[in-house]
Amino acid sequence: MSWAGPDDVYLSTSLASYLDKKLLVLLRDGRKLMGTLCSFDQFANAVLEGACERVIVGDLYCDIPLGLYVIRGENVVLIGELDLERDELPPHLTHVSVAEIKRAQKAEREASDLKGSMRKRMEFLDLD
Amino acid sequence: MLFFSYFKDLVGREVTVELKNDLAIRGTLHSVDQYLNIKLENTRVVDQDKYPHMLSVRNCFIRGSVVRYVQLPPDGVDVDLLHDATRREARGG
């Protein structure tokens, strides 16, 4: 990522054209952060202002407010510019409270843990 | 720098970038840098239903280190040219 001059930031791969814009940052652990880009460097380290984590579980979603976030570049997968003209999410998703999404997240995690442990127990069957 | 130069020639073409987390994004190649970070325009996710949060993303920056494959347009590869460039690079110049 080059430190491009002001005239060619829109042509370069630099994140400069995303400064002060509302972005979606996808992290390596699958988390989705949203916020306004304040600063960045050549490693894609980034500072997000007014950050929130968007949690989607099934048809439920919630934005958990986080504040000012500094993200280490190695954890960044993708930085997307949010098009404010378009709907942010498909219409079938319902907004729920933080407590509710945490509960849904926990239930999903437990279900997948259960699935994992069942699989482990059935390993002798050689299903694959 | 061979692949950097090669990708620079593909700017403006439609490519599909498959990431290490299996997310595949199709879009117009806007730019690329020496780390092979990629910027795409008019993006759409190949499996949209699985990634609802990507719906409103039109332009994006992809960190080079998370890319698994870049699928190119069929006529995007000039094999002879690439051979020559590879030999030149291997000779060191």
**CB within 8 Å: A76 and B56:** no
**Domain membership flag for residue A6:** no
Q: How many angstroms separate the CA atoms of A29 and A13, rounded?
A: 24
Inter-chain CB proximity B33 and A82 less than 8 Å: no
pTM for this model (two decimals):
0.87
Which residues from chain A sit within 8 angstroms of residue B23, using beta carbons? 26, 77-78
The rounded radius of gyration (Å) of the Cα atoms in chain B is 14
ipTM value of the model? 0.89
Number of separate domains in chain B: 1
Terminal C-alpha separation, chain A:
44
For residue B69, the domain's CATH number is 2.30.30.100
Q: What is the pLDDT of residues A89-104, one digit of tens each?
A: 888 889 999 999 999 9
How are strands ordered across the β-sheet holding A46-57? A94-95, A60-71, A46-57, A32-40, A22-27, A76-82, B57-62, B38-45, B24-32, B14-19, B67-71
Distance separating alpha carbons of residues B72 and A125, to the nearest angstrom: 42
Q: Write the pLDDT tens digit of every residue in A105-126.
A: 999 999 999 999 988 888 888 7
Residue A11 three-state SS: coil
> Which residues form the domain of B15?
2-91
Report yes or no on A7 lying in a domain: no
